[in-house]
Amino acid sequence: MSVPQTMSPGAVTGSKRPGLVLACVCACTILVVGLVAAINLAVPMLAASGLHPSSSELLWIVDAYVVVFACLVIPGGAAGDRFGRKGVLIAGLVTFAAGASISAASASVTSLLLGRAITGVGAALVLPNGVGVLVHATVPERRTRAIAIWGAMTGMGGLIGNIAGAALLTTGSWRILFGAIVPIALLCAFWTSLVVRRSSRSPRSLDPAGTALLVAATFALLIGIIEGPERGWSSAIVSAAFVASVVLGAAWVVVELRVRHPLLDPRLFRSPLLSTVSLGMLVMFFGSFGLFYLNASLLQYGRGYSVLQAGFAIVPMTVPMLIGAQFVPNLVRRIGIPATLSAAFLAIGIGLSGLTTAVNQPYLVYAAWLFLIGVGFALALPCLTAELTAALPAEQAGVAGGLQSATRELGSALGVAVVGTVLTESFTRHLPANLQHAEQIPRTVAEAVAAAPAQQAAIIDSFTTGAESALQVASVVTLIAGILVVAAAFQASRRRSEQSSTIMDSTASK
């Protein structure tokens, strides 16, 4: 009679149905990532709605979900490691549905923000535990391919969100967008309960002090960026937010270095590779979701597209990701991470820059630049995802998934905040003179058109000019940060090669 073996926490056994688990995790991923993009299509509709949001409130409606998502996604992954990934994943999907139902029924900006924040809590539980479930359901020899597919889905989620969101918004009501999410999230929860196996739990504590400091530092940073244009960059609340972010971040580092089981050990970032891929993920999503925030309104205002046309206009970005994701792991093995990332960030940066010249050109020119950006995503996403997952042990799969998700969502939130800030400032600066000297300067297209209906064409031109400026900023930031990422990747690759050579020489001498 064989003796049963005791499994260590986080041991990977594989699933009898890895394909179904992969499909389920991808569906959950598309749902939570897709909502980040879909809401951008509703911005013109929300701006003209009975809620009457200001420009900063519009940014918060978009970013409230992403901010909470980014702040809680690492704790969400740690909760899955501690209490079981399957249960936390299902709880996240139910919370996601609850937040969406509150958003759909909102009668004020405040209740809409509450619903968006609750949905963000759900997303923070879903995304890291989805990848944690996938790691533990897939045997090691198939894990790289499974994670590459999942990584591609994190990019595809934004594009699918645009298309599905556009289809829902053609009803003429932004409430339909949130209402439709409720049954989808509950179906995903039921699917998860059927196909996902329970994984062993980690005895690690949840580190409440580290969690609170990390959440507070991230939230303070984003408050400063989003409120800067509305209140003034030198205002007391904005200055206090930035100072608080630095102080809280430093306190988080001190606390994490002293606790026995840190939420996320800052010493991990001594690894050049982990630091590089984390920065790379942040930069890539900074550019992409800055683009998504602009693109939906730009196509509707600047080109006169319907919301459905605007949703489908982003499709050229999906083609390289659909075709190329499966080939990227082999490409990385052949030419290496640094060369792959060089090509990726060059394509994204040039594509964003090219879009600034194509705002008034035929759609085919616009589509060509979108395709180039898609090539960059197709190269970078699987590469960065696989490397970031491999940087942490399997028993910390939830934290690894949380770190990936945190860098993505923080990049998304920063992209929306920074691009939205540049757009608003440039838009108001280029408004017709009579609106610039109004007692209260309009800060959205809806406000400006309501104040001066006869000047709608000039107002749209002002918005287009602002969008071009914002895309230029996104392009420059992406290119400069991409250069830093690639340089760090080259250095990390060289160190890894030197370490391998040293180990081989030591083995040979013995």
Contact 474, 419 (CB under 8 A): yes
Residue 3 counted as domain residue: no
Domain that holds residue 233: 207-262
Residue 6 counted as domain residue: no
| pLDDT (average), residues 386-402 | 63
Residue 447 counted as domain residue: no
Q: What is the pLDDT of residue 11?
A: 44
Q: Are residues 248 and 333 in the same domain?
A: no
In degrees, to the nearest 5, what angle opens at C-alpha 81 toward C-alphas 325 and 186? 70
Q: Is 395 helix (H, G, I), strand (E, B) or coil?
A: helix
Q: Are residues 140 and 286 in the same domain?
A: yes
Q: Are residues 174 and 244 in the same domain?
A: no
Which among 498, 477, 50 is positioned nearest to 285, based on CA atoms? Answer: 477
Report the residue count for the chain: 510
Six-digit token string for 226: 């989003």
Q: What would the pLDDT profile of 101-125 be if each residue is shown by its tens digit?
A: 999 999 999 999 999 999 999 999 9
Residue with tokens 């050990």: 265
Number of domains in the chain: 2
Q: Are residues 143 and 177 in the same domain?
A: yes
Six-digit token string for 450: 């309501």
Q: Are residues 222 and 352 in the same domain?
A: no
Stretch among 69-78, 103-112, 401-410 having the lowest mean pLDDT:
401-410
Residue 52 counted as domain residue: yes
Q: What would the pLDDT profile of 459-473 be if each residue is shown by its tens digit?
A: 999 988 888 888 888
Residue 226 counted as domain residue: yes
- What integer best gives the mean pLDDT of the chain? 82
Q: What is the pLDDT of residue 95?
A: 97
Residue 441 counted as domain residue: no
Q: Are residues 359 and 411 in the same domain?
A: yes
Kindly give, in sequence order, each residue whose CB lies less than 8 Å from that of residue 334, ignoring residues fewer than 6 positions away: none
Residue 442 counted as domain residue: no
Q: What is the pLDDT of residue 390?
A: 66
Bigger pLDDT: 437 vs 366: 366
Which among 198, 263, 185, 200 is positioned nearest to 29, based on CA atoms? Answer: 185
The CATH number for 45's domain is 1.20.1250.20
Q: Are residues 224 and 334 in the same domain?
A: no
Q: What is the pLDDT of residue 94?
A: 97
Bigger pLDDT: 280 vs 246: 246
Q: Are residues 223 and 277 in the same domain?
A: no
Q: What would the pLDDT profile of 347-362 be if each residue is shown by its tens digit?
A: 988 998 888 888 778 8
Which among 222, 180, 338 is positioned nearest to 273, based on CA atoms? Answer: 338
Q: Are residues 245 and 365 in the same domain?
A: no
Contact 370, 312 (CB under 8 A): no
Helices (H) and strands (E) in the chain, counts: 19, 0
Six-digit token string for 300: 């509707």
Q: Are residues 188 and 255 in the same domain?
A: no
Q: What is the pLDDT of residue 365?
A: 92
Q: Are residues 258 and 399 in the same domain?
A: no
Residue 35 counted as domain residue: yes
Task: Please return the burial class of 107, using the count of CB atoms within 10 Å of its CB with bins 0-12, 13-18 and 19+.
Answer: exposed
Contact 442, 427 (CB under 8 A): no
Domain end residue (candidates: 219, 242, 262): 262
Q: Are residues 122 and 242 in the same domain?
A: no
Give the whole-angstrom CA distance, residue 410 versus residue 378: 20
